[in-house]
């Protein structure tokens, strides 16, 4: 959550609470992302990966979500996917995140309450931008485009992350291991 939602990546789990009716109307990928981001340690690890290595958390979560069914993506597929979503990420998600973060310290002309109200509105729009990115990625997954497989979800997750690292660059090991350990636990292998 594409930097998923907070964008997923800078939000607390409480900020991402979605009522059951709304969640039921969203893709399984979005529901996975909201639940996974709320797992202990995942949010700060994702923010570190995003800020220090340029990881698109929505793409990372897409790779993990695919891994839940043992599906793997090749380095080439990850590169193509990153290229496809890059324009949206760079035009909508990242600028909204930058505005939201900048408003943590509001300009002197605004009262803190007014600035926070505005910041929360920006946060909601940022989250929607990430959800739209995820819905587009979910549609790609439903097209049958990705066919690789691994024996277990954990092996698929590690293979998918390795493919993403080959495209982007090496990720900081500690936050990456937090994310992979949380995935293994959620997959019943941890």
Sorted by where each begins, the domain ranges of the chain are 8-186
**Contacts of residue 20, Cβ cutoff 8 Å, sequence gap at least 6:** none
Supply the pTM of this predicted model. Answer: 0.84
Does the pLDDT value for residue 16 go beyond 90? no
| 11 has a pLDDT exceeding 70 | no
Burial of 144 (0-12, 13-18, 19+ CB in 10 A): exposed
From residue 154, alpha-carbon distances to 78, 138, 148, 174, 189 in Å are 18, 20, 14, 17, 7
Model confidence pLDDT, tens digit, residues 83-103 = 999 999 999 999 999 999 999
Residues β-bridged to residue 39: none
């Amino acid at each position: 959550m594409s930097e998923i939602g907070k964008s997923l990546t800078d939000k607390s789990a409480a900020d991402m609470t979605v009522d059951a009716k709304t969640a039921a109307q969203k893709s399984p990928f979005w529901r996975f992302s909201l639940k996974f981001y709320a797992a202990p340690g995942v949010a700060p690890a994702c923010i570190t990966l995003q800020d220090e290595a340029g990881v698109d958390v929505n793409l990372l979560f897409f790779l993990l979500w695919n891994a839940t069914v043992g599906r793997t993506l090749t380095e080439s597929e990850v590169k193509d996917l990153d290229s496809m979503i890059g324009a949206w990420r760079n035009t909508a998600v990242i600028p909204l995140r930058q505005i939201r973060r900048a408003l943590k310290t509001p300009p002197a002309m605004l009262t803190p309450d007014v600035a926070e109200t505005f910041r929360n509105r920006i946060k909601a729009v940022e989250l929607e931008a990430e959800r739209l990115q995820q819905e587009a990625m979910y549609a790609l997954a439903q097209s049958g485009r990705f066919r690789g497989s691994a024996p277990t979800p954990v092996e698929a997750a590690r293979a998918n992350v390795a493919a993403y690292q080959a495209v982007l660059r090496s990720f900081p090991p500690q936050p990456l291991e937090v994310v992979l350990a949380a995935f293994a636990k959620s997959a019943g292998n941890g």
